[in-house]
Amino acid sequence: MPSTATIGRGDRRVTVHTAHDGTLPPVGPYIAEVWRRRRFVLSMAETQLKAANYDTFFGQLWQVLNPLLLAMVYYFIVSVLSGGNQPPGFLSYLVGGLFLYYYPRSAMGAGAGSVVGGGGLLLNAAFPRAILPLSATLSAGYNYVNTLVVFFVIFLIEGGSLHLQLLWLPPMVVLLTVMSFGLAMLSGVSTVYFRDTSSFLPYALRIWMYVSPVLFTYDDLVAQIDRMGAPAAWAPYIAYLNPLVPFLNTWHKSLEGVNPSQLDVLGMIVWALVMPLIGGYFFLSREREFAVRV
């Protein structure tokens, strides 16, 4: 029997709480409850956005300024390292990839703190706890969409042209959101049991960027895997073990007016299924314990 259930008593519906047995709550009613509280989710996401840079001079502008300045730093570094020989359009390649990478990254970062930092809320109200990483993901997603606007300005200034293949962008963003939510649940639940997660995370996430085709191309990545001794035929597939690869490929290709490969589409779908399943399992089966542990 799940730890919280509703039983009938006469014509009444009585809520019953019993001991937590470490199993998943019924997933259907859980999702229905999250959906019923969708305004709460959005309001939480909005709150996080507002509270984030509430006392700085540029305020909300920092949501865009931060990744933009970072892109400039990386552009500078890559230019220095390569002796200034950049292919045309490299700035938008770099900025676009970096912005995309920053979406799951900030969802995981905010997700890590969402449960542990939800102290007062956690101890004062009963609600499906997945709302916390979900709203962290959505506020990261809102930021991503804003940075996309900045990206397209840079893209057009650099002489890029818009292709029909950009229609791949909306489904890609949706799948990326679903995957990021899974990752945010995973980092959220890890932080409850292992507080160092939030300290380790930035380093792990930085390595994630260096093994993703953000500062270099997918072909560079495959060549590198090849050089490290993997059988040449496998190298392109090994690259897809990095969840970011199918998303970055789809993004870069659609900007060039090329459709993503079947492997790209399949990769995005698989990762958008696997991450929420793993994250959701760990999160939901433990969330009843959160209030006694934070």
Site for other proteins, rule CB under 8 A: 3-4, 7, 9-10, 12-20, 36-37, 39-40, 43-44, 47, 50-51, 54, 118-127, 193-196, 288-289, 291-294
The 3-state DSSP class for residue 6 equals strand
The 3-state DSSP class for residue 73 equals helix
CB of 188 to other proteins, least distance (A): 15
CA 149 to chain centre: 18
CB of 195 to other proteins, least distance (A): 4
Q: Which of residues 91 and 110 has its CB atom nearest to other proteins in the complex?
A: 110
Q: Identify which of 39, 201, 194 has the alpha carbon closest to the alpha carbon of residue 131.
A: 39
CB of 276 to other proteins, least distance (A): 24
CB of 25 to other proteins, least distance (A): 11
CA 56 to chain centre: 25
C-alpha 97/C-alpha 91 separation (Å) is 10
Angle between helices 62-81 and 90-116 in degrees, nearest 10: 130
Q: Which of residues 269 and 294 has its CB atom nearest to other proteins in the complex?
A: 294
CB of 283 to other proteins, least distance (A): 15
C-alpha distances out from residue 51 to 54, 102, 187, 266, Å: 5, 19, 21, 37
| Enclosing H/E stretch for 101 | helix 90-116
The 3-state DSSP class for residue 124 equals helix
CB of 288 to other proteins, least distance (A): 4
Is residue 252 left, alpha or beta, with left meaning phi > 0 and alpha meaning psi from -120 to 50?
Answer: alpha
| DSSP-assigned letters across all residues of 129-187 | TTHHHHHHHHHHHHHHHHHHHHHHHHHHHTT----GGGGGHHHHHHHHHHHHHHHHHHH
CB of 216 to other proteins, least distance (A): 32
CA atoms within 13 A on the CB side of 239: 24
Q: Which of residues 9 and 227 has its CB atom nearest to other proteins in the complex?
A: 9
Q: Which of residues 129 and 253 has its CB atom nearest to other proteins in the complex?
A: 129
C-alpha distances out from residue 203 to 105, 111, 158, 192, 242, Å: 11, 16, 32, 19, 16
Q: Which of residues 92 and 190 has its CB atom nearest to other proteins in the complex?
A: 190
Q: Which of residues 55 and 231 has its CB atom nearest to other proteins in the complex?
A: 55
Q: Which of residues 14 and 69 has its CB atom nearest to other proteins in the complex?
A: 14
CB of 37 to other proteins, least distance (A): 6
Q: Which of residues 11 and 28 has its CB atom nearest to other proteins in the complex?
A: 11
CA atoms within 13 A on the CB side of 112: 17
